[in-house]
Amino acid sequence: MTQYILEIAYLIASITFIIGLKMMSNPKKARQGNLIAAAGMTIAIIGTIFLYTKEGLTSRDSIKMILIFGGIAAGTIIGWLTAKKVQMTKMPELVSMFNGMGGACAALIGLMEFHHSVGQPSTMITVLAGMIIGSVSFSGSIIAYLKLNGAMAKPIRLPKYNIINTIVMFALFAFAAYVVASGTDSSVLLYLLFAAALFYGILFVIPIGGADMPVVISLLNSFTGLAAAFGGFLYDNKVMLTGGILVGSAGTLLTIVMCKAMNRSLFSVIFGSFGSTAAAADGADVAGSIKDISTTDVAVLMNYSKRVVIVPGYGLAVAQAQHIIHELELLLEERGVEVKYAIHPVAGRMPGHMNVLLAESNVDYGKMVEMEEINAEFEQTDVVLVVGANDVVNPAAKTDPSSPIYGMPILDVEKAKHIIVNKRSMSAGYAGIENLLFYNPKTSMFFGDAKKALTDLVAELKTM
Amino acid sequence: MEQILSFISTHREMIYFIILAVFVGVEVIGHVPSVLHTPLMSGANAIHGVVVVGAIIVMLDTDASNYVSLTLGTVAVILGTLNVVGGFVVTDRMLDMFKKK
């Protein structure tokens, strides 16, 4: 009887996952969708604790129940507090960290199920696959976390890292195949395999540059989904299967969409990198000179404009200038200037990250305009203010086939009457390449830390 | 060869299920505006935390006197719960910012 109720609980949970994900693709219903999926998850977890039965499982030892509830309580408290406390700019790191935890959970399940599966090759394959994928996802996510955190900013590349990685990957497969085929029950071999999988996860992420981290996190996200699905296959557990596969396939699609937004193939993210091609672009001739602009001039220019478009980049978030930029927007609107934000698909560190950051400082959702839409409006724009963005407005993406970002869709800010670029210094952007936009006769450089420069600008505007 | 075929045959329902689920996954997020990519990734991240169900099953199945398994299982439950709770809470925080004023 309890078994049937549990099956129904799993069915309900699976449906909430599908409906939740579906609703999350609509801005108005997204929050509700997330809560529905969370409710389904709660049903699945509580149902498993109280209703799970299996031949031979007669009693629920109090020690086990204490440990399970203790574990859930500890995880809930830590997870809740971290998720509530983290700054929105740090969010990609956090997602990466949570993903790693899920991977580690799958890996531990694999470690524990190993001895129950000796002698059953097909079960063993499932156990080891979940364990290996979970481990790779775990160690890879930790490296991605460190990279986004800045603790490991530079990609570390061993000579011939592609060949080494490929060899290690095949060695890992061969090792796993040996463990399955030999029917061994050796714990030593199991832990060696576990260590090898962790090591491969590190090797996999370490050569990839920080700019590509969102793609990597999304990919690792789908890996963890896959690991969860193997767990579902192992236990013939439908809710783990649905959840795991949904995330596995949706995550893979999301990874590909992200790659497309940056005009990179998944292959080149994993096997190639900006660093290796950037050298070729160094030779690009820089013609023209740079023009400085003072705070007063920027204020005057904006005050007498009709239409202003702000192009925010990650630099804005790093400088914590999203609140002051909203203040600037309100001030200009008060004076009859129409202000919009142009959001490049990869602005920030993840697609949509910039929207979250701006929304945090109460910027109206309707004012954030996506690239395709805003590109048609630049011709009627008086002033474009680029804050902390670089590669997403680099014309080389259109004009210079040798550029590593060639082909990436960019914001056509050049069509506007005036372009003001706020930057701390003349250093290159994330992709490490020169930006010809800065040498455009219509461009004025407004140097300074984004927060300070914008605060000064707002103060100046108020006096007018 | 026969082993493979019999494996497919015995698990055919599961295989149908997996194939359909893959398509559902693709379909469900097929037309997402890029503004929602980050919350969606975070929400999907929370959903794969369903792996915690596996951790609970392992705990229930394990022998109460096997301390190694109990320890590993408890750690797995903690990590899985972290993934679920942290994932949903952070997604909720992100989406909260999108609400119309």
Residue A155 pLDDT exceeds 70: no
**Statement: the pTM of the whole predicted model exceeds 0.90:** no
Asked if B13 contacts B62 with a C-beta cutoff of 8 angstroms, the reply is: no
Q: Which residue of B has its CA nearest to A101?
A: B79
Window 46-85 of B: residues touching A by CB (8 A cutoff) are 46-62, 64, 69-70, 72-85
User: Would an 8 Å CB–CB cutoff place B8 in contact with chain A?
Assistant: no
Supply the mean pLDDT for chain A: 86
Return the DSSP state at B1: -
Task: Give chain A as a 3 state SS string.
Answer: CHHHHHHHHHHHHHHHHHHHHHHCCCCCCHHHHHHHHHHHHHHHHHHHHHHCCCCCCCCCCHHHHHHHHHHHHHHHHHHHHHHHHCCHHHHHHHHHHHHHHHHHHHHHHHHHHHHHCCCCHHHHHHHHHHHHHHHHHHHHHHHHHHHHHCCCCCCCCCCCHHHHHHHHHHHHHHHHHHHHHHCCCCHHHHHHHHHHHHHHHHHHHCCCCHHHHHHHHHHHHHHHHHHHHHHHHHHCCHHHHHHHHHHHHHHHHHHHHHHHHCCCCHHHHHHCCHHHHHHHHCCCCCCCCCCECCHHHHHHHHHCCCEEEEEECHHHHHCCCHHHHHHHHHHHHHCCCEEEEEECCCCCCCCCHHHHHHHHCCCCHHHEEEHHHHHCCHHHCCEEEEECCCHHHCCHHHHCCCCCCCCCCCCCHHHCCEEEEEECCCCCCCCCCCCHHHHCCCEEEEECCHHHHHHHHHHHHHCC
Tokens of A103: 């991977």
Q: Which residue of B has its CA nearest to A107?
A: B76
Identity of the amino acid at A377: E
User: Would an 8 Å CB–CB cutoff place B20 in contact with chain A?
Assistant: no
The reported pLDDT for the residue numbered A143 is 93
pLDDT tens track for B6-54: 888 888 888 898 899 999 888 887 777 777 788 888 999 999 999 999 9
Most confident of A252-261, A344-353, B15-24, B26-35: B15-24
Interface test with B, best of A3, A87, A245, A252 (most B CBs within 10 A): A245
> Cβ contact (<8 Å) for B53 and A105?
no
**A391 catalytic residue (yes or no):** yes
Residue of A212, A236, A391, A456 marked active site: A391
CA distance A317 to chain B (A): 15
Nearest to B98 among A30, A94, A250 (CB): A30
The reported pLDDT for the residue numbered B32 is 77
CA distance A230 to chain B (A): 10
CATH code that applies to domain A295-462: 3.40.50.1220
Nearest to A25 among B36, B54, B55 (CB): B36
- Give the residue, A54 or A22, on which the prediction is more confident: A22
CA distance A138 to chain B (A): 11
**Domain segments of chain A as ranges:** 1-85, 90-272, 295-462
Lowest mean pLDDT among A29-43, A160-174, A241-255, A390-404: A390-404
Asked if A417 contacts A442 with a C-beta cutoff of 8 angstroms, the reply is: yes
What average pLDDT does the segment A48-70 reach? 85
**Hey, which residues does A342 pair with through a beta bridge?**
A369
> How much of chain A, in percent, has pLDDT values that exceed 90?
45
| Surface-to-core class of residue B31, CB atoms within 10 Å of its CB (0-12 exposed, 13-18 middle, 19+ buried) | exposed
Residue A183 pLDDT exceeds 90: no
Q: Which residues of A touch B97 (CB under 8 A)?
A: 356, 359-360
The reported pLDDT for the residue numbered B81 is 97
Q: Which residue of A has its CA nearest to B13?
A: A236
> Cβ contact (<8 Å) for A235 and B57?
yes
Residue A214 pLDDT exceeds 50: yes
Q: How far is CA A11 from CA A4, A30, A292, A413, A421, in A?
A: 11, 22, 63, 50, 54
pLDDT band at A254 (very low <50, low <70, confident <90, very high): confident
Interface test with A, best of B23, B47, B78 (most A CBs within 10 A): B47
Q: What is the CA radius of gyration of chain B?
A: 19
Residue A160 pLDDT exceeds 80: no
Q: Which residues of A touch B85 (CB under 8 A)?
A: 75-76, 79-80, 83
Q: What strands lie across the sheet with A338-343, from one edge to the other?
A: A368-370, A338-343, A307-312, A383-387, A418-423, A443-447
The reported pLDDT for the residue numbered A282 is 43
Nearest to B89 among A24, A80, A221 (CB): A80
> How much of chain A, in percent, has pLDDT values that exceed 70?
91
Most confident of A158-162, A197-201, A358-362: A197-201
pLDDT tens track for A265-286: 787 777 765 444 433 344 445 5
Q: Which residue of B has its CA nearest to A91?
A: B90
What average pLDDT does the segment A429-440 reach? 74
pLDDT tens track for B52-69: 999 999 999 888 888 888
Nearest to B51 among A91, A102, A238 (CB): A102
